[in-house]
Structure 1
């Protein structure tokens, strides 16, 4: 089977039309349910088992929760018309140091569901101006629209869901 690409090595070609928004919203709305499905049937020991390199399944879920405020901040960058999207901590220290293996799984899942709902509610309320803007992504060094940003978030979700499934298949 093909290995999951390293996230920071992925290349993106943006320019997605706004007409993809309903599909992207459906993907983003479905992530909490897919995450719950991937995690709920496993024992706590399997959830927190760390591979030689990387995070446990539960830490991957915590990472998704950890990044929701960044996604929302970047949506606000489109509203404000910023020149560059808000940067992230490329070392992911907040996830690594977040203690997600010590937290109850339900806390992570419900927190993610709540944060994702907040993001989608905000996106649904945006004025047309925000959708017309193009802003440079700080790591990729390429402009993206709000539709591209939502595609990026959905791809990031899927990357970590795939990683979770891969972890369980390898245990």
Structure 2
């Protein structure tokens, strides 16, 4: 089993990831991605709005962390398609996270945000379930990491990103 746990002591942009992960990990990563919204829902099931919308300095609130995850689902699907199409480079992300900062996620309730995440993640899962073994062998260059990634590597990356934000959310609600 491939170990998937966040490198919580390392800033997200400083983390490193393995490349060329074997297709034997597909089902494991698919399950992690599929189960994540339910895990998040369990953690936040009794989180009051005054806690989920509170910002700590310039850091995102719980709601903004969830909103960020919702916004990134489209990027993940684009990057999975980039790999499947054999593009040399994956599409880039807005590393300044402008869309998250400009959205009004704190005007929403946690349940609504999680439902939106479920909906977006389901689209990603359906797409991944349709992949062929040939698709799993293709690679594209990750724009920030400057390393080739296959579908499984990107699934691992997304699962780690989920865990990074889960850890962040848990520390926010733990400090309230």
- How high is the TM-score relative to the length of structure 1? 0.94
Unmatched runs of 5 consecutive residues or more in structure 2: 1-6
1:166 aligns with 2:168: no
Q: How far is 1:39 from its partner?
A: 1.7
- 3-state DSSP of counterpart to 2:141: strand
Equivalent residue number for residue 131 of structure 2: 126
CA displacement at 1:53 relative to structure 2:
3.2
TM-aligned CA deviation for residue 130 of structure 1? 1.5
> Aligned partners of 2:154 and 2:18: how far apart in 1?
12
- Please, what is the CA RMSD of the aligned residues? 1.4
**Matching residue within 59, 81, 86 for 1:54:** 59
2: CA distance between counterparts of 1:57 and 1:161? 9
Match of 1:27 in 2: 32
Asked whether the 8 Å contact 2:8–2:164 carries over to 1, the reply is no
**Pairwise mapping of residues 94-133 of structure 1 onto structure 2 (< 5 A)?**
94-133=99-138
- Tell which deviates more after alignment, 138-147 or 102-111: 102-111
Contact 1:32 1:112 in 2 (8 A): yes
Q: 1:121 to 1:3 in 2, by over 3 A?
A: closer
1-structure distance, mates of 2:112, 2:91? 27
The number of residue pairs the alignment matches comes to: 170
Q: How far is 1:104 from its partner? A: 2.8
Partner of 1:72: 77
Give the Cα separation in 1 of the matches to 2:148 and 2:140. 5
**Which residues of structure 1 form unaligned runs of 5+?**
none
In structure 1, distance between residues paired with 2:82 and 2:14: 24
Identify if the C-alpha distance between structure 1 residues 124 and 3 changes in structure 2 by more than 3 Å, giving closer, same or farther: closer
Question: 1:54: Cα distance to partner?
Answer: 1.2
Q: Deviations over 1:105-127 (max 9, x none)?
A: 22211111011111011101012
Give the Cα–Cα distance (whole angstroms) in 1 for the partners of residues 20 and 87 of structure 2. Answer: 18
Q: Is the 8 A contact 1:39 1:57 kept in 2?
A: no
4+ residue segments displaced more than 2 Å: 2-5, 104-107
Post-superposition CA distance 1:28-86 (Å, at most 9, x none): 11101011112221110000010123100111011111100000111111221111011
Tell me which residue corresponds to 1:143.
148
